[in-house]
């Protein structure tokens, strides 16, 4: 489903306000000029003309109840207050960043309950602004005339571009993308690459094309940052962007994305040396050889080899990466557990890995198997997948977890770990004829859908727990989780 084309109306001619059933009619204030949006209809449409009436969120306080009403077919919303007192004010807030802020404090459609009525409502307002490619959310608010206190519902939106759990999660993720700088969450870098990659895969799996513009604008607005061409001192950051741009090339056919991925591979390769028998460094100029950097290096070069006819350069790099990984001890022979890395001085693998280390290594091995068909490669990936889905450190009651979740202390980069982990497991599952991880993946997805999101389809960190706040990493994890359900 693509977004609907705008049908402009020359004026936002406001009709009279039809009140809550049985309460008569009165005139509503016009939409503020600096925030007037026109899609299928312009802001300020009469709710009496609404295509439907769904109430996803309410808020009760001081004996009143404020409700957010959504007309999914329009797609617009309005606010109402029940059991109101004369002088109570009711309005809508509209957010373009997933509810972190809202438009100029504008109080869309703000209107005051008149004498003699116990219910009142605003006119209708759009939740998206397609002329400016803004993805939005609405909430309903009122101000008590008795105490002067404001009360608001949670954020929600219509089902436009959000008709099922996959497109709901995708649309919520895009709402966290900032068009001014082309970054997710405002300034995310490697996690922005993970989110962009998740979005690209979601577009591919769902067929929803509305958000393709995010890919090109992210590229154009960030291609000169740091060292240029999405390279920086951290080879894992660079590797994530490299894989993202290969995926963008697959989706769009634009060769600039593949050229950037080649440049990133060259940069990563320049961080390879003979210490500990090979491998690339996690950070340029520092002595740690991380499993995550080397697995990303393996995957990126295998991806490039598959897309470049007659290539030997990227194939040789992939071969070298695999030969080093399998002899490095980073993948423990006893149980398939992937350790975090090694110091170049001691060359001793150490530090327990996270879900991220496991899943990205699986993904790299599956990609490499596609170009060499060595049974040892796929067997190693399956050993990692088995321990990740069975070991209590990563899975509890069948739900994938990072260690910090047990103490509710996950923060920062860790919030982006489970998405890449479940993606790797899904890629392995697709490559195995008996699809042994389908039930595991499906149970995780169903659990998250049942318990882990709010009314705005923003997902929390725990796929078996209540929603615990908005974060780009949490949301891209959810998108990856739903991508993973496809065979």
Show pLDDT as tens, one digit a residue, over the chain (487 residues): 333 222 222 222 223 333 333 233 333 333 333 468 999 999 999 999 999 999 999 999 999 999 999 999 999 999 999 999 999 999 999 999 999 888 766 799 999 999 999 999 999 999 999 999 999 999 999 999 999 999 999 999 999 999 999 999 999 999 999 999 999 987 889 999 999 999 999 999 999 999 999 999 999 999 999 999 999 999 999 999 999 999 999 999 999 999 999 999 999 999 999 999 999 999 999 999 999 999 999 999 999 999 999 999 999 999 999 999 999 999 998 889 999 999 999 999 999 999 999 999 999 999 999 999 999 999 999 999 999 999 988 999 999 999 888 877 788 899 999 999 999 999 999 999 999 999 999 999 999 999 999 999 999 999 999 999 999 999 999 999 999 999 9
Return the domain boundaries, the chain.
17-152, 165-484
| Bond prior to 111 in cis (omega within 30° of 0) | no
Q: Helix 291-307 crosses helix 235-252 at what angle (to 10 degrees)?
A: 30
How would you label 181-212 residue by residue, b for 16+ Cβ within 10 Å and e otherwise?
Answer: ebbbbeebbbbbbbbbbbbbbbbebbebebbb
* Inter-axis angle of helices 313-328 and 255-269, nearest 10: 50
Owner of token pair 């207050």: 81
How many angstroms separate the CA atoms of 116 and 24, rounded? Answer: 11
In the three-class reduction of DSSP (H, G, I as helix; E, B as strand; rest coil), residue 29 is classed as coil
**Pure H helices in 207-338:** 212-222, 235-252, 255-269, 291-307, 313-328
Q: Are strands 137-143 and 125-126 parallel, antiparallel or unpaired?
A: unpaired
Say if residues 359 and 350 touch (Cβ distance below 8 Å): no
Cα(366)–Cα(306) distance, rounded to whole angstroms? 13
As given in the structure block, the two tokens for residue 487 are 């065979």
The pLDDT, as a whole number, for residue 32 is 39
Instruction: Report the CATH fold assignment for 165-484.
Output: Glycosyltransferase (1.50.10)
> Quick one: pLDDT at residue 104?
62
- Threshold 0.85, pTM exceeds: yes
Q: Is 471 left (phi over 0), alpha (psi -120 to 50) or beta?
A: beta
Comparing CA positions, the residue from 254, 253, 174 lying closest to residue 3 is: 174
Residue 110 phi/psi, 5-degree rounding, is -50, 130
> Which H or E element spans position 473?
helix 472-484
- Residue 232 near residue 189, CB atoms below 8 Å: yes
- pLDDT score of 485: 98
What's the pLDDT at 105?
A: 60
pLDDT of amino acid 106: 76
Read off the tokens for 159: 């089902």
């Amino acid at each position: 489903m693509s977004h609907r084309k705008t049908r402009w109306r020359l004026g936002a001619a406001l009709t009279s306000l039809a009140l809550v059933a049985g309460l008569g009619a009165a005139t509503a204030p016009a939409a503020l000029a600096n925030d007037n949006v026109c899609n299928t209809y312009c802001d300020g449409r009469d709710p009496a003309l609404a295509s439907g009436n769904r109430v996803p969120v309410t808020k009760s306080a001081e004996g009143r109840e404020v409700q957010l009403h959504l007309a999914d077919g329009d797609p617009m919303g309005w606010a109402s207050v029940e059991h109101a007192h004369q002088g109570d004010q009711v309005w809508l807030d509209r957010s373009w960043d997933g509810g972190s802020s809202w438009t100029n404090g504008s109080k869309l459609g703000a209107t005051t309950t008149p004498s003699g009525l116990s219910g009142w409502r605003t006119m209708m307002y759009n939740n998206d602004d397609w002329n400016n490619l803004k993805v939005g959310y609405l909430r309903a608010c009122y101000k008590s005339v008795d105490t002067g206190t404001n009360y608001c519902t949670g954020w929600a939106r219509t089902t436009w571009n959000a008709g099922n759990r996959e497109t709901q999660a995708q649309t919520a993720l895009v709402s966290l993308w900032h068009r001014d700088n082309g970054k997710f969450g405002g300034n995310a870098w490697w996690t922005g690459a993970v989110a962009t990659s998740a979005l690209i895969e979601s577009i591919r799996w769902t067929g929803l094309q509305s958000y393709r513009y995010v890919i090109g604008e992210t590229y154009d607005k960030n291609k000169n940052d740091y060292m240029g061409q999405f390279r920086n001192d951290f080879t894992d950051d660079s590797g994530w962007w490299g894989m993202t741009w290969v995926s963008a090339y697959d989706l769009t056919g634009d060769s600039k994305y593949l050229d950037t991925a080649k440049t990133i591979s060259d940069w990563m390769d320049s961080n390879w040396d003979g210490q500990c028998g090979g491998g690339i460094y996690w950070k340029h100029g520092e002595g740690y050889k991380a499993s995550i950097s080397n697995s990303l290096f393996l995957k990126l070069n295998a991806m490039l080899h598959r897309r470049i006819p007659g290539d030997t350069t990227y194939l040789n790099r992939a071969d070298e990466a695999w030969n080093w990984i399998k002899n490095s001890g980073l993948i423990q022979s006893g149980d398939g557990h992937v350790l975090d890395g090694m110091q170049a001085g001691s060359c001793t693998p150490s530090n327990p890995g996270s879900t991220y280390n496991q899943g990205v290594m699986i993904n790299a091995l599956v990609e490499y198997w596609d170009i060499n068909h060595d049974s040892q490669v796929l067997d190693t990936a399956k050993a990692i997948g088995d321990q990740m889905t069975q070991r209590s450190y990563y899975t509890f009651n069948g739900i994938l977890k990072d260690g910090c979740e047990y103490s509710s202390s996950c923060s920062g980069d860790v919030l982006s770990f489970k998405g890449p982990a479940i993606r790797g497991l899904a890629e392995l599952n697709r490559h195995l004829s008996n699809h042994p991880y389908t039930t595991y993946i499906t149970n995780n997805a169903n659990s998250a859908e049942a318990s882990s999101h709010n009314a705005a389809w923003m997902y929390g960190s725990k796929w078996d727990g209540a929603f615990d706040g908005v974060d780009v990493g949490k949301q891209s994890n959810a998108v990856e989780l739903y991508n993973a359900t496809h065979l």
